[in-house]
Amino acid sequence: MYPFQTAPVQTGEPRTEAEPSRTPAVSAAQGGWARELPVRRILRFAVVGGAGTVVNTVVLYILHRLLHVPLVVASAVAVELAVVHNYMLNDRWTFAARAPSLRRFGRFNVSMLGGLAVNVLALWALVHGGVHLVVANLLAIGVAFAVNYTSSSLWVWGRSRGSSR
């Protein structure tokens, strides 16, 4: 069964109020915003980040508490395993790439390192500006999330770079 769609007929006469217009407001109401604001992709990116936090925490606990690996080493390994986890899920689920790419993986690592720097700098600036530590941390996480998503969307998985996909 094929769904039918109606198309406006151009008669040269003025349109009546009952006819739908193709203004941005109507387009947005008919799903145009879904194309302009990738809400589903942002939510998927957030879910992957949450799952990566679980991976990081579990690996850190196992390495440091159970296997007695030094904290700095355990933390570095846990972070990188979470980055690998997040890259694989984002590559397949969030950005729907056809196959993993070493180039995208390298970019993702750099992007996450940049997000970490933004997080630390924002936290430092907010705390030194008089914002409560917990509130500052939550705000810094939000800023870093925005930077991570934007860099991932535009640079790591950017649609304009056909060769990097």
Residue 144 has pLDDT above 60, yes or no: yes
Cα–Cα distance for residue pair 61/49, rounded to 1 Å: 18
Where helices occur in 67-101 by DSSP H, the ranges are 71-89
Residue 46 has pLDDT above 70, yes or no: yes
pLDDT at 100: 92
Pick from 108, 113, 82: which is nearest to 97 by CA? 108
Is the Cβ–Cβ distance between 77 and 69 less than 8 Å?
yes
**Mean pLDDT, rounded, for 13-41:** 52
Radius of gyration, alpha carbons of the chain? 22
For 8-32, b where at least 16 C-beta lie within 10 A, e where not — what string? eeeeeeeeeeeeeeeeeeeeeeeee
pLDDT at 65: 95
3-class SS shares of the chain: helix, strand, coil, % to 5:
70, 0, 30
**Mean pLDDT, rounded, for 85-100:** 94
Residue 63 has pLDDT above 80, yes or no: yes
Average pLDDT score, the chain = 82
Q: What percent of the chain has pLDDT over 90?
A: 72
Fill in the DSSP letter of residue 29.
I
**Mean pLDDT, rounded, for 122-130:** 95
Residue 73 has pLDDT above 80, yes or no: yes
**Amino acid, res. 71:** L
